[in-house]
Chains A and B, each alone.
Chain A
């Protein structure tokens, strides 16, 4: 038990070191263009976590990220590099609009039906990549990216043609009031309970069920899995489908649970990058759904605080994404904590 605890502590420490490296490197990038990093970071963190409204808004940003991170994390557990959350989230958002915006249902049932439909569409969009992987051995990095781009154009097409809001061509039909999750405060809605619950369910699936054990065995040690009679095809399929459900939910949160628009813009502006941010969140959360919740809150804070950084220190808010990338690169290096420890000892 204590060994497990040490391992858990070490992985949290590694994430901490990587985050610190990302923040320092981000500061250096600001300095290179003569911005004031101290002022920028103070604006960022007080904006994100310094007030109740800031905190609520950061949680609203974190809501989709914790589930789009699950897509990547479940993939990694089966030793897959599933980066299709992006496209699956677009398709999930469309699913939420179809049921949430065009079907008439009673209040309590409507949000549930729309969410479930969105998740199913997300899973359906993950299916081709799973089939290609199992049947033809096609590398999932390439196939999921191609599906992301096809989803992008398909979604734009649907908004521009069948699902556009009459009189407002720049966006789709908003979710009907009966389909909306209740607002908690700022733009945070009750859908955060659904996403947190989903993360907990996936944790139970991975660590408390036979299929989860099989999935992790195939990921950890394919040879042993083969001898134990585990089916790698089934593990891959389950991993992709759970990932698709998660990404579909991530897309749905922006439609059914995000005021003020409750809809999807034709530029896909409000779902863009959910999948890619999810990769970083999953890695910071050490590919664990619960770790992902905390990492999502951290990253949601960066996204929300980035706006304050932009208008108080003049630094383009996209820099947050660059910091994110540096954190991911730092997390890719297994030796990073070991190197630091050795240096301190010598």
Chain B
């Protein structure tokens, strides 16, 4: 995590953003609207990616983010309706994410599971459990629209007589990566987390349980993904549909790969990916542009951007013990 390398990536991020902005204004799209939707789309990606960075730093890999997104986006709405508040819904989403993460951590650490297979199993489980829950909770197949008052709505900001919407969760999604970065680099727990991923024997010899550190980080990581999932339904779309996640869990994984497990870079990646999604949303509603570019190609933008950026970045160095269960000799 050398400073010069980090600066290089920040500069690339800023330049890419400026080019995008320029293209947007050329095409006659509203820049305001683009920033708003870009930030909304960034939020779940950033939360999940940072959580997964912490998780992978400790040595466990969870490719089931997509599944956690779907389950928590549904459970968040269920609890919001039960408790009568969108905010509690977000908290419940976060808590149910944590619960899923705890179970996943126990399976991986003490069951010594193959983490990629278990994570994929979690995705398949959610693929079925999601529609099943929607049907069981609301007796309607595949979708549910909840009362608008239960939205954890973004607030209106006034910047130089322009109105601009911003969700408090977005603010949290920007602060949490910074806190995570400080946790990893400036605290004792952070050293233990990184050592659990890099050299678990050393952690064990120092008298700290590798398993506990890993389960804790699995829980924290999934809790952040859960917050992101509940935000998608409660803070962004205002509905739950069974396809709500649309591959975002995997885009968050791509952000993790991009970041090389640095939470700040994960935020940058989430911003770029979120932005490309915001671009797609903005094009779809912009008169004059939407008639020229077919809707279906616009929908491909986030996935194509992710693929291109991955091709440019290539493979990165990951902790040595990542994905391997720790067995004491």
Question: Interface of A with B (CB < 8 Å)?
Answer: 29, 33, 81, 83, 128, 132, 136-139, 141-143, 145-150, 153-154, 156-157, 160-161, 273, 276, 279-280, 283, 315-316, 318-336
Contacts and interface: CB of A to CB of B under 8 A. Distances in A.
A273 B279 CA distance: 28
Contact of A320 (B63, B128, B130, B299): B128
A332 B121 contact: yes
Given A136-B311, A149-B247, A283-B117, 13 more contacts: A132-B310, A141-B250, A150-B303, A318-B130, A318-B132, A319-B132, A325-B67, A328-B120, A328-B125, A331-B117, A332-B107, A332-B113, A335-B112
B311 A138 contact: yes
Nearest to B141: A316
A153 B122 CA distance: 25
B12 interface: no
Contacts, number: 160
B254 A279 contact: no
A325 B311 contact: no
B111 A83 contact: no
10 contacts: A146-B251, A147-B307, A150-B307, A316-B132, A316-B136, A318-B131, A325-B123, A329-B121, A329-B125, A336-B111
A316 B123 CA distance: 18
A142 B135 contact: no
A156 B130 CA distance: 24
A138 B253 contact: no
A332 B118 CA distance: 5
Contacts of B116: 81, 141
Contact size range, B: 35 or more
Nearest to B104: A329
B257 to A, nearest CB: 6
B314 interface: yes
A329 B253 contact: no
A329 B118 contact: yes
Contacts of B286: none
B136 A333 contact: no
B297 A153 contact: yes
B299 A153 contact: yes
Contact of B296 (A154, A318, A332): A154
Contacts of B297: 153, 157
B300 interface: yes
A325 B129 contact: yes
A324 to B, nearest CB: 5
A16 B115 CA distance: 21
Contact of A280 (B124, B257, B313): B124
Contact of A33 (B123, B124, B136, B300): B136
Contacts of A150: 300, 303-304, 307
A137 B294 CA distance: 32
A322 B128 contact: yes
Interface in B266-321: 294, 296-297, 299-300, 303-304, 306-307, 310-311, 313-315
Interface of B: 63, 67, 107, 111-118, 120-132, 135-136, 141, 246-247, 250-251, 253-254, 257, 294, 296-297, 299-300, 303-304, 306-307, 310-311, 313-315
Given A146-B247, A335-B111, A336-B111, A318 B310 contact: no
B250 A145 contact: yes
A318 B257 CA distance: 32
Contacts of B121: 280, 325-332
A333 B63 contact: no
A325 B127 contact: yes
Nearest to B253: A142
A145 B296 contact: no
Contacts of A142: 250, 253-254, 257, 306, 310
A29 B107 contact: no
A291 B131 CA distance: 29
Given A136-B310, A149-B303, A316-B136, A328 B117 contact: yes
Contacts of B136: 33, 316
Nearest to A149: B303
B303 A276 contact: no
Nearest to B116: A81
A154 B300 contact: yes
A74 to B, nearest CB: 16
A48 B181 CA distance: 53
B247 A319 contact: no
B111 A333 contact: yes
Contacts of A331: 117, 121
A65 B104 CA distance: 27
Contacts of B129: 29, 318-319, 321-322, 325
B314 A138 contact: yes
B27 to A, nearest CB: 20
A149 B276 CA distance: 15
A124 to B, nearest CB: 16
Contact of A138 (B111, B127, B132, B315): B315
Contacts of B300: 149-150, 153-154
A106 to B, nearest CB: 35
B285 to A, nearest CB: 17
A143 B303 CA distance: 9
A146 B250 contact: yes
A29 B125 CA distance: 12
Q: Which one of A33, A156, A318 has the greatest number of beta carbons of chain B within 10 Å?
A: A318
A233 B72 CA distance: 39
A156 B63 CA distance: 27
A323 B127 CA distance: 10
Contact of B114 (A146, A316, A334): A334
Contacts of B128: 318-325
B254 A146 contact: yes
A50 to B, nearest CB: 23
B274 to A, nearest CB: 15
A111 to B, nearest CB: 29
Contacts of A156: 296
Contacts of B251: 146
A145 B41 CA distance: 18
Contacts of A327: 121
Contact of A333 (B112, B130, B141, B306): B112
